Structure 1
Amino acid sequence: MHTIEGITGLTADQVNQARERYGRNTFERKKHVPFLKRALQEPMLMLLVLASAIYFLREAYAEGAFMLAAIAAVSFISFYQESRSKAALDALQEYTRPQASVIRNATVMRVPAEELVVGDHFIVEEGELVPADGVIERSNDLSVNEAILTGESMSVQKTAEDKFLYQGTLVNAGLAVCKATAVGMHTQMGRIGKGLQDIEEPPSPLQIQLKGFVRNMAMVGLAAFLAVWGIYFFKTSLLMQSLLKALTLAMSILPEEIPVAFSTFMALGAWRLAQVGVIVKNIHTVETLGSATVICVDKTGTLTKNEMALVGIYDMHARITYGPEDFARATSIIATAMWASEPLPFDPMELAIHRAYAATHPVDARAGATLIHEYPLGGTPPIMTHVFEDQKGNRIIAAKGAPEAFLHAHLPASDLHAANDAFHALASKGFRVLAVAEAVPAGPDLPADQHEFRFLLKGLVAFYDPPKENIPGVLESFYDAGIQVKLLTGDNLVTAGTIARQINFRGTATSLTGEQVMSLADPALQDAVEKVSVFSRMFPDAKLKVIEALRKHHHVVAMTGDGVNDAPALKAAHIGIAMGRKGSEVARQASALILSNDDLSAMVAAVTIGRKIYNNLKKAIRYIISIHIPIVLIVLLPLMLGWPYPEILTPVHVIFLELIMGPTCSIVYEHEPIEQNVMTEKPRSFTKTFFRISELAISIVQGLAITAGLILIYWYSVNHAGSQACVTAMVFVTLVTANLLLTLVNRSFYYSIFVTLMYKNRLIPLTLAATGGLCSILFTIPALRRFFHFELLTGYQFGLCVATGVLSIMWIEVYKALKRHRTAKSLRR
């Protein structure tokens, strides 16, 4: 916390009064549709309501009451899952709330932007979004991008004539202290926002695929419903009985669990990512994480600690490099570097320069000088220049930036060689090196471009930002997971290469500079980015071009960034990753993920969680497909083929099974741990559909195998038992047994069931016990047995059903064993 001279800001009481009078700095959100209203639009609930009504009309009050109870149970499960998802997303919103610097009680503090009130004094600087409408009271070389309001992409210089800033605009350069004049819906952005409230976020590719699958199944269900209703009514002329049979089939076909499972997995996945320090701004990013094939990282703050220490100064005049113990002999260079830095520094290198200046200059010369013009960091290679003026009108023009920008400017050959040698000596130690220069005023007018100054090189300043201790292990984890790592840095090649070798970065033998990237045509660049891993002296356009080339090469690209200039590339990457601590607000806005602690190891955890979520979601949906097939067929085949007992399962049986399957797919599988081999497999292709043909085929065969078991039990019970109650009971027990075992074997399509039984998932035994217990109750309580139209089975009949259910499932273990054998054989080659 610090103060701004002459501005005290509001008191706590004044803040509360302003908030009561003008409201909060938030936009009105689209009204939330009540759960009950949305529930009544669900197809399964509509079918349940219809079935319940038919039962009551037929005076089957017990069945009607059961259907009402089922409606309540289905609604409760949906409500519970939605509540968990909403709670997870609400928790994420807390992480992603934008912050603002505000002056209150004469102190500068950080508060959530939504807490700003009219009358507050807030501070904005380069890389930040303006948090409220306001009038500028103080500013330093301020330029703002107002494209979000005006559509004009060029930055606007804010002058004495144009002193208004608007919420949502981007500060491109400079700094300003403003007084808030409007907040929330009363801002210019708020007025526009009223027309945007009903715009829906577009669905993700996976969401579209799953919605399409559910929609197609719903259409099949509708067609089957009408066909069965018509056929049975034509045969019997029993309207209500025909309708019930048609409803049973429609219920068995409709896979309403899939969209619920998808939303639950994505929301809870985003919440789990937040627990490891990865904030997901859009939950659909979760499904992309497992596909990442390349990650582009910057050096400073990502691979290194971002703890810049001034460790060396090269004096151009004396041709001597001073260490920290001799900085008192380089006071002139330190002073020039300080003049070239921001008066209120936030960059780690500038903070180090200011500390060195304070330690070597007992008298602060800044007190009598005013910054009259600032040339922001720009050019290729980049430099920045400040122009100060003292009370006597004398000007100080100081610049710092990439050594290449100054080394060839007006230097004798001998000085150039000496400076180059000093630069390489410092850079080869992994130091980040900046050149420091000054210029003599050529008149009262300042040039439009800082490169027009005639600079005199004074020396070099070297900073050391040590690599993070965990980075070698993080990189190894990426490599093991089949993910390429590319280093995109603004540093020179010598410094970048030295740091890369220190952290065991692969592929340091070849490199490209930003200028070389820009000079390559698309085909050549696409080939180059596949082979090159180190890119030095990169600037925004070059970074963007590398990202686009990787995308054209069918890579799924993740990229880290923190500055304003990183925003285009972050937006272009499939997974933009901003730094939570040192990242600018615009970088966070452009990104899909935020690393709350700036720790790249969190991305290893994120990829792991992303792959786990994707794999578990796939298991859940394959389970749904497999178990729906036998339910549909055991309802349809006896009816369509005229078998002795066409009404094996009724709506009561189907909804009971649905109540078991819903939590299994969307709650139990969501809790499954990651499998051992997930992080050693290659990333899945982003262009592929959700299921490979082979995966879908296995799930269909699983369903058909269960169906075959049910048909065998059906015909055995018809021929040996006789009564429909016994047939129904035996088919039901076989189906429940197969369902329980399917839950276990589908926990992995690679490892044996005896391995997966060791997986820690407390919901598995809970679900199995609950399902088994409920089924036991149905048979042991006479009233329930009669209600479900079951006959009490003998021990032999029960054992036969269980054995058939087991056999219809356990064949998959042979398939898994063969798959493991093939994998082991290929590894031995």
Structure 2
Amino acid sequence: MIDPTDFGITGLSDKEVLASRKKHGENILNYKKQNNTLDAFLSILKEPMVILLAVASSIYFITGHFGDGIFLAMAIVLVGSISFYQDSKSRNALEKLKDITQPNAKVIRNSKIIEIHSNELVIGDSIIVEEGNVIPADGTIVHSNDFSANESLLTGESLSVFKDSEKNNNKIFTGTTVASGLAIATITAIADATELGKIGKSLEAIQDEKTPLELQINNFVKKMSLFGGATFVLVWGINYAKSFDLLDSLLKALTLAMSILPEEIPVAFTTFMALGAWRLMKMGIIVKQIKTVESMGSTTVICVDKTGTITQNKMSLAMLFTIKNEKISTLQDKLGQEELDLITTAMWASEPIPFDPMEIAIHETYANQCSSDERKNYNMVHEYPLGGKPPMMTHLFENKNGDLIIAAKGAPEAFLEIADLLPNQKQILLTTIKKLGNEGYRLLGVGTALFDGKNYPKTQQEFLFDFKGIVAFYDPPKENIKEVLQKFDDAGIQVKLVTGDNPTTALSIAKQVAFKGYDMGMTGDDLMKLSETELQEQVKTTQIFSRMFPDAKLRIINAFKANGEVVAMIGDGVNDGPALKASHFGIAMGKKGTEIAKEAASLILVDDDLSKIIDSIAMGRKIYNNLKKAIQYIISIHIPIILTVFFPLALGWIYPNIFSPTHVILLELIMGPTCSIIYENEPLEKNAMQQKPRPFSSTFFNFRELITSIVQGLAITIGALLVYQYAVYLSYNEEVTRTMVFMVLLFSNIFLTLVNRSFYFSIWTTFKYKNNLVPLIITITLFLAVLLLFVKPFTQFFEFETLNATQISVSFFTGLFAVLWYEVVKWYKRTKTI
């Protein structure tokens, strides 16, 4: 590997870095000024529940009910604190995600190349940017190899712009991407002083698109709010017609409005998504869009690369084949001049500062095997980036004497038509490719060319190459890959191998890891000959896609999508960008992935571990299922509160206003933590990863689930109203009646929380689930019940009365049976699946 000092670049010292940072600040864009704490506070003040509480509290104060007014004022503080806490948890999770997703940058400091977070760059730093990188700061090029950048982010121009230190056009800009080559540049501007920072205000107008689930939830909450508004007006009218007391009737109408408003739902959605993304991050999976976390559970097809995904990405140069000697050698053999020339040519065909594992292996082998190191004596003067079908790349180096080296490497088949090979040599080459490919080696053909002058051909294929031979690399399969592939199969997810390798190598590795359908494959060229309809049928049965290029990968993704599949695509290179973007879930590798791949992807696997995708899918299913449980719980428990407030008033029962705003808000405070804390912390149900993926288009509130919640809510309502009538029948006063009905709702809340932990497994099974918050929340709820029943100041304030054992038992067993009947339904579901 070339030392940066060879170019006369030593970079800044540690002392110079500190001085520059002190003078110019950090490399962080601050175009969007936000006061997150103030924004969160203002957002809480706009919440409908807080507004209703403020109005009700004001009416109590106006009418002289200072105790109730103070309680509701305290409730505002408590509700606001809970919301603020939830918001801060979500924001902290997102901030930590932002920190870890901060792209890295290669920088020369103290004469060494190191890798740092891009926000640690300072003015004066010397950075190295190469194909696939997103440029982290504005700078001036001091050295480059066939360097071009895509600056469409700033200019709107889609074509790449070639730049070097000798041209007037020698500037690079933050946020643009490297399309080809490599450059070393001195940073001249960071953060808001960059070109991107100057136009940053325009980025504030960009709005995040809402996911289908988010839209469904927002629409549901909006409908419930409209229903609550209409009911509020109706109840206000009924009360006012009876009493002609404006404030008192308004207060009673507000009671019902509070019971209808499902303000916990959007809070639960945000919390579940943010904490899910945070949990994934701790597992080594970075989610760039937290709202898509739950959608991962719908994945039906995963397109995986071979290198670093199926294999360990530990490339070692294992075999050498020279066309002149027509023989295969290992590095342990005594190498002749032909083998050394092959290694040397392969080195010149690689990047002078290698980052690809194969190129690193080539440079290391050259340093170990070749007696004299010529790298310092030559400078790259031109580069043809990876291209063509099959792909290849060519580098041109020149020394001070004007001696020119032209070296190329790529798919061995790429040289069949552009090298001076005799017919029998072509046959030998094809036989060798098949032999080494069948043994699982990754192959690169290597050749040299001669050329006079500086007017280089437009394409590398115009050179006539002297084919030297093949360098073969071995990348062993990952140890756990068979188990991982089996888990995908168990979860009903198809895995397709999409690789740039030749068919024999791809098939050999697939066979080693017991890849299902390894004998059903096709090449990129064959794929491109198919019509869209033919391809849509072909992808259903084809498992191995070899010699793939960008257009072919994109067609594969689109064919799966046309078949109604939910596609996840794993990629790491610049050429994977279109397919990553087109898939439902683009997944980039954290270690070997280029910045462009990471930019295009939805998820990043920090350790390049395929098993982590199983974790992300499991997390997606868990979040979706737990969020559904939470929202079904919210719907179920809101129904009895609404109807228990409404029916006595509408039907003119003896105690028409059984609950006041203080009682409703007390129930809301008990329910809120249950849904947003207990259900978020629920583990993945044991059968979740043995089920087929749910359809991506399925509605969150399907009819059956909505009916289940409504019936559960109605059952609790019937229990509460029966206890109401039971109390009236026994001539209990209003306080005892209110207390018994309230306790029915409180006990029902506890049992509903336990029963709805699963809509399939029994309550006895879910008791074994590890969720430390369940006993904690239930204990707190029961402690509240004791306070309300037996501590006189609380009992009197809420206009309750201490109940005797019989009255408590009636409330308890009514709450129990109003919920526990659903265990019979779950038992019936289990018998049907046996």
Partners of 2:19 and 2:207 in 1: CA distance: 35
- Report the counterpart of residue 166 of structure 1 in structure 2: 173
Partners of 2:267 and 2:291 in 1: CA distance: 14
Q: CA deviation at 1:12?
A: 3.2
Q: CA deviation at 1:412?
A: 2.3
Q: Does 1:237 align with 2:240?
A: no
- Report the counterpart of residue 366 of structure 1 in structure 2: 375
Stretches of structure 2 lacking an aligned partner (at least 5 in a row):
none
Superposition map of 1:78-89 within 5 A: 78-89=83-94
- Of residues 586, 600, 609 in structure 2, which corresponds to 1:599? 609
- Report the counterpart of residue 652 of structure 1 in structure 2: 662
Q: Does 1:38 align with 2:40?
A: no
- Report the counterpart of residue 208 of structure 2 in structure 1: 201
Higher deviation after alignment, 335-344 or 477-486: 335-344
Partners of 2:147 and 2:509 in 1: CA distance: 35
- Report the counterpart of residue 571 of structure 1 in structure 2: 581
The aligned amino acid for 2:784 is: L
The aligned amino acid for 1:246 is: A
Higher deviation after alignment, 99-108 or 758-767: 99-108
The aligned amino acid for 1:236 is: S
Query: 1:118-167: CA deviations, max 9, x gaps?
Result: 22221111111111111111111111111111111111111422111111
Partners of 2:245 and 2:494 in 1: CA distance: 66
Higher deviation after alignment, 566-575 or 653-662: 566-575
Contact map agreement 2:294 2:619 (CA 8 A) in 1: no
Q: CA deviation at 1:327?
A: 5.6
Partners of 1:347 and 1:123 in 2: CA distance: 15
- Report the counterpart of residue 56 of structure 1 in structure 2: 61
- Of residues 617, 620, 626 in structure 2, which corresponds to 1:610? 620
Partners of 1:380 and 1:373 in 2: CA distance: 21
Superposition map of 1:184-583 within 5 A: 184-326=191-333, 328-329=335-336, 330-409=339-418, 410-441=420-451, 444-583=454-593
- Report the counterpart of residue 179 of structure 1 in structure 2: 186
Partners of 2:636 and 2:343 in 1: CA distance: 72
With structure 2 as the length reference, what TM-score do the two structures score? 0.97
Q: Does 1:752 align with 2:755?
A: no
Q: CA deviation at 1:486?
A: 0.7
- Of residues 107, 112, 115 in structure 1, which corresponds to 2:117? 112
With structure 1 as the length reference, what TM-score do the two structures score? 0.97
Partners of 2:736 and 2:392 in 1: CA distance: 87
Partners of 1:365 and 1:123 in 2: CA distance: 22
Query: 1:357-407: CA deviations, max 9, x gaps?
Result: 222211123333332211111101001111222343332221111111113
Query: 1:578-631: CA deviations, max 9, x gaps?
Result: 111111111111111111111111111111111111111110000000000111
Q: CA deviation at 1:237?
A: 0.3
The aligned amino acid for 1:361 is: C
Q: Secondary structure at the match of 2:570?
A: strand
Superposition map of 1:734-749 within 5 A: 734-749=744-759
Partners of 2:47 and 2:236 in 1: CA distance: 21
Contact map agreement 1:721 1:727 (CA 8 A) in 2: no
Q: Secondary structure at the match of 1:381?
A: coil
Q: CA deviation at 1:24?
A: 2.3
Partners of 1:190 and 1:700 in 2: CA distance: 52
Higher deviation after alignment, 592-601 or 505-514: 505-514
Partners of 2:303 and 2:243 in 1: CA distance: 69
The aligned amino acid for 1:60 is: H
- Report the counterpart of residue 827 of structure 1 in structure 2: none
Contact map agreement 1:577 1:595 (CA 8 A) in 2: yes
Partners of 1:436 and 1:656 in 2: CA distance: 77
Contact map agreement 1:407 1:420 (CA 8 A) in 2: no
The aligned amino acid for 1:723 is: N
Q: CA deviation at 1:445?
A: 2.9
Partners of 1:412 and 1:442 in 2: CA distance: 25
Higher deviation after alignment, 344-353 or 103-112: 103-112
Q: Secondary structure at the match of 2:381?
A: strand
Partners of 1:708 and 1:536 in 2: CA distance: 64
Contact map agreement 1:581 1:597 (CA 8 A) in 2: yes
- Report the counterpart of residue 7 of structure 1 in structure 2: 9
Q: 1:538 to 1:66 in 2, by over 3 A?
A: same
Query: 1:610-664: CA deviations, max 9, x gaps?
Result: 1111111110000000000111011111111111211111111110010011111
Partners of 2:497 and 2:125 in 1: CA distance: 42
Partners of 2:268 and 2:754 in 1: CA distance: 18
Q: CA deviation at 1:355?
A: 2.0
Partners of 1:729 and 1:669 in 2: CA distance: 28
- Report the counterpart of residue 699 of structure 1 in structure 2: 709
The aligned amino acid for 1:345 is: P
Q: CA deviation at 1:808?
A: 0.7
Q: 1:354 to 1:10 in 2, by over 3 A?
A: closer
Q: CA deviation at 1:443?
A: 5.3
Partners of 1:390 and 1:15 in 2: CA distance: 34
Q: Secondary structure at the match of 1:212?
A: helix
- Report the counterpart of residue 133 of structure 2 in structure 1: 128
Partners of 1:706 and 1:163 in 2: CA distance: 73
The aligned amino acid for 2:590 is: G
Contact map agreement 1:210 1:259 (CA 8 A) in 2: yes
C-alpha RMSD of the superposition: 1.4
Q: 1:512 to 1:782 in 2, by over 3 A?
A: same
Partners of 2:116 and 2:315 in 1: CA distance: 27
Q: Does 1:24 align with 2:26?
A: yes
The aligned amino acid for 1:18 is: S
Partners of 1:715 and 1:642 in 2: CA distance: 13
The aligned amino acid for 1:382 is: P
- Report the counterpart of residue 767 of structure 1 in structure 2: 777
Q: Secondary structure at the match of 2:684?
A: coil
Higher deviation after alignment, 781-790 or 3-12: 3-12
Contact map agreement 1:30 1:197 (CA 8 A) in 2: no
Q: State the 4+ residue runs in structure 1 displaced beyond 6 angstroms.
A: none
The aligned amino acid for 1:394 is: D
Contact map agreement 1:408 1:416 (CA 8 A) in 2: no
Q: CA deviation at 1:408?
A: 4.1
Contact map agreement 1:305 1:467 (CA 8 A) in 2: yes
Q: Secondary structure at the match of 2:774?
A: helix
The aligned amino acid for 1:377 is: L
Contact map agreement 2:41 2:84 (CA 8 A) in 1: no
Q: 1:558 to 1:299 in 2, by over 3 A?
A: same
Q: Secondary structure at the match of 2:401?
A: coil
Q: 1:9 to 1:339 in 2, by over 3 A?
A: closer
Q: CA deviation at 1:198?
A: 4.2
Contact map agreement 1:383 1:399 (CA 8 A) in 2: yes
Q: Secondary structure at the match of 1:194?
A: helix
Q: Secondary structure at the match of 1:200?
A: coil
Q: 1:454 to 1:545 in 2, by over 3 A?
A: same
Query: 1:169-208: CA deviations, max 9, x gaps?
Result: 1111111111111111111111111222243322211111
Stretches of structure 1 lacking an aligned partner (at least 5 in a row):
825-829
Partners of 2:47 and 2:379 in 1: CA distance: 67
How many residue pairs get aligned? The number is 824
Q: Does 1:674 align with 2:684?
A: yes
Q: 1:444 to 1:87 in 2, by over 3 A?
A: closer
Contact map agreement 2:300 2:567 (CA 8 A) in 1: yes
